[in-house]
Structure 1
Amino acid sequence: MNNVALITGASRGIGHHLARHFYDLGYTLILIARHAPALEAFAATRDPARITTLAVDLSNTATAEPLLRQVLSDHARIDVLVNAAGIFRPGSTQTPVDDFSTLLATNVTAIHLLCQLCTPWLLKSAQGRIFNLASISGVQPFGSIASYAASKHALVGYSRSIARELGAQGIKVTTLCPDVVNTDMAEGSGLAADEMLSTEDICRAVDFVMSLSPAAIVEQLTIGRQPRPRQPR
């Protein structure tokens, strides 16, 4: 029986590349995102027996929860949960309250829902793991994006706390905190492609964490960017 990975945000960006990565490793996938055509396009070029897709807005927990429960009931266990779904909104003290609430709903509350629902299935795995994708802005202050940073700080705190709770039950939780990654979410960053992290960096980070001995746990992994060297005057 193949290992099973549930990956959110799988239609684009980091989530999409992690879906490709875990598929290539031989996993059976449960892929979740809002954009159904992108999920269907991914599944259409691969073994349909190894892929389940669910198009749903995870920030709408009332709608998402029963659909998630149904998808989980079709699988005997989950080995890896990757919470890669997330949104970005610029702004700090002037961020509209609705935007602030949407950031928290997507970047924190939805992840809590996934962790809550998947825990019983992860406990059925010999090596259950959760990867929550936060951001370097969840561990460092950035004045121009305080609202986004607030959501990521909350996610880091949440993830590190459940790492202690679930670790005692055999589930390892790792929070990934990368700097700017070269995806469509980075548009407007002003950085060139070679100044950003690649999605492959995130895949390699996941591989690194999973390659460690059973006794090892990485609760938080921050992945920074190498600044360009200054040109001599």
Structure 2
Amino acid sequence: MTDLTGKHVLVTGGGKGIGEAVARRLAADGAKVTVLGRSLEPLLAVASSLPQGQALSCDVTDEAAVNAAIQEAVEVFGPVEILVNNAGAALSAPFLKQTGDDLRRMLEINTVSTWTCTQAVLGGMVDRGWGRVVNVASTAGLKAYPYVASYVMAKHAVVGLTRTLALELARKGVTVNAVCPGYTETDMVRGAVQTIIDKTGRSEDEARMELAKNNPQKRLVQPDEVAETVSWLCGANSDSINGQSIAIAGGEVM
């Protein structure tokens, strides 16, 4: 197990899916965990089940709201030492049917939230000489998929920010990395499965296999697999891992 005893971890989008799995894994490593997101009820459910957990609701694209929520979190658990930018959403439609508003929404949720939350905690990490930022991107940040142009743009931007910050902070004691899951067993993917069923008439198993077909293992990634990688990136022996975008996708991206 990674030893994160006493560390304050902030996980955005921590009420379900990958965010929930990360929150539980880092709590098991001994961390104090703040889960942050829009919907308070699932956040409270996660936080109340952790040894040291708290839930705060805010719009992670709103700089003032983020700063206020993080200040509240710091008053309880101390400075944020590990940030996991997990909040995100996807949109599937042909390029010509996506609008400028669709693009702006994908950038706000996936990219601006990462920028905003990182700016809110990074200065303290630098001042203390230690910190971890882990951005949950996607294989869509490393390659392209059809029908998700705005999502691909947003996740590529997250990977670009990861690399830039890693270089800026390389001698500051702070590492910045991204994990890039392929299709993962989450509500987002379950929604995609239902869309395939509705549009094509395929069975649920056929729809799931459609999403898993690019994974050489022919399966969906599990949230706990992503959380395990995040845990490793936050540990004491990961100091040299910096600026990386680690694909968790069964070999889909090499």
On whether the aligned pair clears a TM of 0.5, the verdict is: yes
Task: Give the residue type in structure 2 aligned to 1:17.
Answer: A
C-alpha distance 64-208 of structure 1, shift in aligned 2 (>3 A): closer
Whether 1:17 and 2:21 are equivalent positions in the alignment is yes
1: CA distance between counterparts of 2:236 and 2:169? 18
Kindly provide the CA deviation profile for residues 204-224 of structure 1, in whole angstroms up to 9, marking residues without a partner as x: 212333457355214221122
Superposed displacement of residue 203, structure 1: 1.7
Task: Give the residue type in structure 1 aligned to 2:188.
Answer: M
Give the conservation status (yes or no) of the 8 Å contact 1:76–1:121: no
Give the conservation status (yes or no) of the 8 Å contact 1:131–1:176: yes
Whether 1:43 and 2:35 are equivalent positions in the alignment is no
Structure 2: give runs of 5+ residues left out of the alignment: 194-206, 213-217
Give the conservation status (yes or no) of the 8 Å contact 1:4–1:29: yes
Give the conservation status (yes or no) of the 8 Å contact 2:12–2:37: yes
Task: Give the residue type in structure 2 aligned to 1:182.
Answer: E
Report the 3-state secondary structure (helix = DSSP H, G, I; strand = E; otherwise coil) of the residue aligned with 2:183: coil
1: CA distance between counterparts of 2:70 and 2:8? 15
Question: Which position in structure 2 is the counterpart of 1:231?
Answer: none
Greater RCO, CA 8 A, separation 6+: 2
Whether 1:54 and 2:56 are equivalent positions in the alignment is yes
Question: Which position in structure 2 is the counterpart of 1:160?
Answer: 163
Give the conservation status (yes or no) of the 8 Å contact 1:69–1:117: no
1:107-122 aligned at under 5 Å gives the runs 107-122=110-125
2: CA distance between counterparts of 1:197 and 1:8? 20
Give the conservation status (yes or no) of the 8 Å contact 1:131–1:174: yes
Question: Which position in structure 1 is the counterpart of 2:249?
Answer: 224
Give the conservation status (yes or no) of the 8 Å contact 1:7–1:84: yes
Kindly provide the CA deviation profile for residues 28-66 of structure 1, in whole angstroms up to 9, marking residues without a partner as x: 11110111111122233344xx22211112123343333
For this pair of structures, how many residues does the alignment match?
A: 225
Task: Give the residue type in structure 1 aligned to 2:13.
Answer: G
1: CA distance between counterparts of 2:139 and 2:220? 13
Report the 3-state secondary structure (helix = DSSP H, G, I; strand = E; otherwise coil) of the residue aligned with 2:111: helix
Q: TM-score, normalised by structure 1?
A: 0.87
Superposed displacement of residue 74, structure 1: 4.5
Question: Which position in structure 2 is the counterpart of 1:72?
Answer: 74
Q: TM-score, normalised by structure 2?
A: 0.80
C-alpha distance 70-198 of structure 1, shift in aligned 2 (>3 A): same
Report the 3-state secondary structure (helix = DSSP H, G, I; strand = E; otherwise coil) of the residue aligned with 1:185: helix
Task: Give the residue type in structure 2 aligned to 1:15.
Answer: G
Whether 1:206 and 2:230 are equivalent positions in the alignment is yes
